[in-house]
Amino acid sequence: MIVGQKWLAVELLRQCRREGHAVAAVAGVPGDRLLEAAAVEGVRSVAATGALDPAAVPAGVDVILCAHAHGFVPAAARQRARFGALGFHPSLLPRHRGRDAVRWTLHMREPVAGGSLYWLDDGADTGPVALQDWCHVRPGDTPAGLWRRELAPMALRLFSLALGLLEAGGLPAVPQDAALATWEPAFAAGPLVRG
């Protein structure tokens, strides 16, 4: 099952289908292109705002994949999936937990950015890390530019790798080091360019 929105969720749906994975359902924001793509692909869709209703998770689902998902996936929903739920966060967790990780990476002038595929729990971006990757931040990068060039493709690669590892027998779950964790609030509106 895929939970999410926007480009990343749509591309994850398409990637899963290309790679031969059965997608039992998607859950997305009403009016989002994920629900439209699911209709074209013939995949059951559920409009979801806020917390995911556990009843929306079909029986027999192996894993819930959260791609650009800002809603909460409660324990009761995660437990309906054989392995639980994996989400992508555009930072090297436990750094930059929170909604605007890419903007904060640039604001703090960090030379390296990254992405984490992690097991969802009841916290915000706090679950054990399954996979991570990193990239350089270039002068002049904007949040949207860094996302498009590096982080969104990275997310798709990590999801693909994770599904392969699950099929082969397992995926890591490394606890995050709380001593290294940072949390930043939603960033103030306005352009941000790294110079």
Which amino acid, residue 50?
G
Residue 57 makes CB contacts below 8 A (sequence gap 6+) with 1, 25, 64, 77, 80, 81
Ramachandran region, residue 112 (left: φ > 0; alpha: ψ -120 to 50; beta: rest): beta
pTM over 0.75: yes
Q: How far apart are CA 135 and CA 54, in angstroms?
A: 35
Convert the pLDDT of each residue in 24-81 to its tens digit: 999 999 999 999 999 999 999 999 888 999 999 999 999 999 999 988 999 999 999 9
| E strands present in the chain | 2-4, 25-28, 44-47, 63-67, 84-89, 112-119, 129-136
pLDDT band at 192 (very low <50, low <70, confident <90, very high): low
Nearest to 122 by CA among 82, 153, 155, 77: 77
- pLDDT value of position 8: 98
Which amino acid, residue 154?
M
The CA distances from residue 141 to 15, 73, 147, 148, 192, in Å, are 27, 32, 9, 11, 9
pLDDT band at 189 (very low <50, low <70, confident <90, very high): low
Convert the pLDDT of each residue in 83-109 to its tens digit: 999 999 999 999 999 999 999 999 999
Position 193 pLDDT exceeds 80: no
Determine which helix (DSSP H) or strand (DSSP E) holds 145, and give its type and residue range: helix 143-146
DSSP state of 151: I
Position 136 pLDDT exceeds 90: yes
